């Protein structure tokens, strides 16, 4: 068998199961995705895509087709939300919002990196995505500020954790870590 | 009607928990300019638009609305110092004012978090916009006691101006609000290649892929290094963190040799308005620790 034939044989073709036309209809509520003419202004303006594999135009196309593989695509997590595509899109597709929606769906399916899981944990425990440390507590005192800022965490330290308890209970519920994904995630 | 010349001071995460000197400087500046600054007790993370909006947009709106409600109860507009906090709170505030369906849904879930109801009576402001347009370079002249003489590479960041149709501040392709303002402080803005690009930290990328984040940032630093500014001037603690830790990373891993001091607009302005240089907090930062502000006294006034 020639190389070409070998490649043809091993090539994965998409089947009907990979497409879900209902899927993008829900995304459409938020953006004008059907107006996309694939001009590529988004990819050309992309500040992350210049250095990474993120190709916004291709992601938008997959969403239009209802290709669900896009939800497993790690590239959707490389968008820095700089909004350059959003600003320049001549069809007002709002690609940044599309990527945000995709991430929401990916998260529901459990496609969320361990680092991002940790950030959610910080919010639930400390009320901050970036919690304070001993060094900064010291600096705050030296600067004449309160040792702890008057945020929910300060009240938790003082024994009043009702705010953070509620946030922990009701906010940002994440699906459990997928078994087969363990170890292979970045 | 909200209280005039009064702001509910939204701290966020990185400013109070990493760069408290920016908090100190912002308070100093705003109070000297005659604004009353109110503490927002029990506030949380805004929550960060790059990460939390990616995970669950509805919960992101609810948690943001909770912070907005705290300011509504104080009857004051919110002052943010960070592009991320500004992005989140300004966008949620505007969206919930306009979208009744979402407002009802968000208010329903807010009940679970305590005695909160989003009413839509306040605005969300960024300190750079208040300084640039409300105080203005014309108004700051009377308040400064020292004038600097240095060149700055100004970094706007992304979420201060974009999306322009939501922020409604000015064009994102050629903004001048910070340049115009700092000129009154004696700071010359040096233009550099790709000046308005992202620092590479946002969108959850810094947490997701440090490599990608540092590649984007490395290019940014290369362009800044070409024009050899005296300082890097930002208006966002997250960009600030990226410029600080990023230079250190590039020096250690990519054979670079950067040592540019990084300042938030509030820090530079606080110095010009007479704050003691120890409170500017350069001694707590990683880069450019030998930097000396210098500058000339404009008129005599007691420093704190």
> Angle at which helices A21-28 and A56-65 pack, to 10 degrees?
120
Task: With respect to residue B303, please indicate whether it lies within any of the assigned structural domains.
Answer: no
Both B235 and B286 in one domain: the answer is yes
Question: Pick the residue with more confidence: B169 or A184?
Answer: B169
Are residues B118 and B160 both part of a single domain?
no
Collect all residues of chain A within an 8 Å Cβ-Cβ radius of residue B48. 119, 129
Q: Which residues of B touch A139 (CB under 8 A)?
A: 20-21, 281, 284
Domain-located, residue B302: no
- Most A-contacting residue of B51, B74, B246 (CB-CB within 10 A), to test interface: B51
pLDDT for B87: 97
What is the DSSP secondary structure assignment for residue A71, as one 8-state letter?
A: G
- Nearest CB partner across the interface for A130, out of B18, B49, B202: B18
pLDDT at A178 over 90: no
Q: Does the pLDDT value for residue A181 go beyond 60?
A: no
Residue B237 resides in a domain: yes
Q: What residue in B sits closest to A154 (Cα-Cα)?
A: B42
With respect to residue B132, please indicate whether it lies within any of the assigned structural domains.
Answer: no
Tens digits of residue pLDDT in A81-131: 999 999 999 999 999 999 999 999 999 999 999 999 999 999 999 999 999
Q: Which residues does residue B232 pair with via DSSP β-bridges, in sequence order? A: B153, B262
pLDDT value of position B302: 52
Interface of B with A in 101-120 (CB under 8 A): 109, 112-114
pLDDT given at position A14: 75
Residue B283 belongs to domain with CATH number: 3.40.50.11810
Structure tokens at B170: 């000015």
The verdict on residue B304 lying in a domain is: no
Q: Is B99 on the interface with A (CB under 8 A)?
A: no
Indicate if B89 and B157 belong to the same structural domain.
Answer: no
Does one domain contain both B92 and B158? no
| Cα A98 to Cα A182: distance, rounded to the nearest angstrom | 27
Same domain, B288 and B144: yes
Check whether residue B113 and residue B155 sit in a common domain.
no
Is B109 found in the same domain as B36? yes
Please count the structural domains in chain B. 2
| Closest residue on chain B to A161 (Cα) | B42
Going by their DSSP bridges, the two strands B77-80 and B124-126 should be labelled as parallel
Residue A115 to residues A100, A121, A175, B134, B214, Cα–Cα distance (Å): 18, 10, 15, 40, 16
**CB pair distance less than 8 Å for A145 and B172:** no
Q: What is the pLDDT of residue A186?
A: 42
Examine the domain organization and report whether B66 and B167 are in the same domain. no
Residue B271 lies in a domain: yes
Does B197 lie in the same domain as B105?
Answer: no
DSSP, collapsed to helix, strand or coil, labels residue B22 as helix
One domain for residues B171 and B288: yes
Q: From CA B246, how far away is CA B268, in angstroms rounded?
A: 21
User: Which of B126, B147, B168 marks a domain boundary?
Assistant: B126
Q: Which of B76, B104, B126 is the last residue of a domain?
A: B126
Query: Which residues of chain B have a pLDDT value below 50?
Result: none
Q: B293 lies in a domain?
A: yes
Measured between alpha carbons, how far is A64 from A92 in angstroms, rounded to an integer? 15
Q: What is the pLDDT of residue A179?
A: 64
Q: What are phi and psi of B105, to 5 degrees?
A: -60, -45
- Which residue from B minimizes the CA distance to A132? B17
CATH of the domain at B118: 1.20.1050.140
pLDDT of A59 above 70: yes
Question: Of B63, B97, B126, at which residue does a domain stop?
Answer: B126
Name the residue range of residue B225's domain.
137-297
Q: Which structural domains are found in chain A, ordered by start?
A: 15-108 (1.10.1060.10), 114-170 (no CATH)
Round the average pLDDT of chain A to a whole number and report it: 89
* Span B180-226, pLDDT tens digits: 999 999 999 999 999 999 999 999 999 999 999 999 999 999 999 99
Residues B75 and B192 in one domain: no
Same domain? For B47 and B152 the reply is no
């Amino acid at each position: 068998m020639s190389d070409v034939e070998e490649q043809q044989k091993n090539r994965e073709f998409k089947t009907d199961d990979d497409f879900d036309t209902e899927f993008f209809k829900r995304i459409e509520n938020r953006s004008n995705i059907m107006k996309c003419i694939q001009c590529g202004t988004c990819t050309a303006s992309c500040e992350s895509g210049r250095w990474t594999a993120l190709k916004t135009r291709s992601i938008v196309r997959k969403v239009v087709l209802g290709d669900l593989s896009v939800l497993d695509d790690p590239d959707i997590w490389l968008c820095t939300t700089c909004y350059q595509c959003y600003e320049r899109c001549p069809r007002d597709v709002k690609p940044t919002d599309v990527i945000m929606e995709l991430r929401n769906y990916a998260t529901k399916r459990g496609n969320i990196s361990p680092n991002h899981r940790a950030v959610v944990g910080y919010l639930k425990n400390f009320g901050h995505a970036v919690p304070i440390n001993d060094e900064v507590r010291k600096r705050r005192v030296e600067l004449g500020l309160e040792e702890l800022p008057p945020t929910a965490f300060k009240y938790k330290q003082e024994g009043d954790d009702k705010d953070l308890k509620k946030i922990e209970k009701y906010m940002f519920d994440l699906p459990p870590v997928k078994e087969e994904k363990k170890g292979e995630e970045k | 009607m909200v209280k005039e010349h009064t702001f509910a001071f939204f701290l966020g995460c990185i400013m109070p928990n990493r760069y408290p000197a920016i908090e100190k400087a912002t308070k100093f500046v705003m109070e000297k300019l005659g604004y009353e600054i109110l503490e927002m007790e029990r506030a949380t993370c805004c929550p960060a638009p790059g990460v939390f909006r990616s995970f669950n947009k509805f919960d992101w709106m609810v948690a943001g609305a909770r912070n907005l409600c705290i300011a509504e109860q104080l009857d004051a507009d919110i002052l943010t110092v960070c592009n991320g906090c500004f992005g989140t709170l300004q966008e949620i505030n505007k969206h919930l004012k306009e979208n009744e369906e979402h407002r009802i849904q968000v208010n329903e879930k807010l009940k679970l978090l305590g005695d909160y109801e989003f009413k839509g009576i306040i605005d969300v402001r960024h300190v750079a916009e208040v300084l640039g347009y409300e105080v203005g370079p014309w108004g700051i002249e009377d308040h400064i006691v020292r004038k600097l003489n240095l060149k700055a590479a100004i970094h706007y960041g992304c979420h201060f101006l974009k999306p322009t149709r939501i922020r409604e501040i000015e064009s994102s392709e050629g903004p001048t609000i910070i340049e115009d303002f700092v000129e009154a402080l004696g700071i010359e803005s040096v233009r550099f290649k790709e000046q308005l690009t992202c620092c590479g930290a946002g969108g959850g990328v810094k947490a997701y892929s440090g490599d990608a984040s540092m590649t984007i940032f490395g290019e940014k630093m290369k362009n800044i290094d070409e024009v050899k500014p005296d300082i890097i001037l930002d208006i966002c603690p997250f960009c600030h963190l990226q410029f600080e830790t990023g230079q250190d990373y590039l020096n250690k891993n990519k054979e670079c040799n950067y040592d540019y001091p990084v300042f938030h607009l509030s820090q530079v302005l606080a110095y010009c308005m007479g704050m003691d240089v120890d409170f500017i907090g350069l001694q707590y930062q990683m880069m450019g620790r030998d930097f000396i502000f210098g500058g000339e006294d404009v008129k005599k006034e007691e420093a704190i």
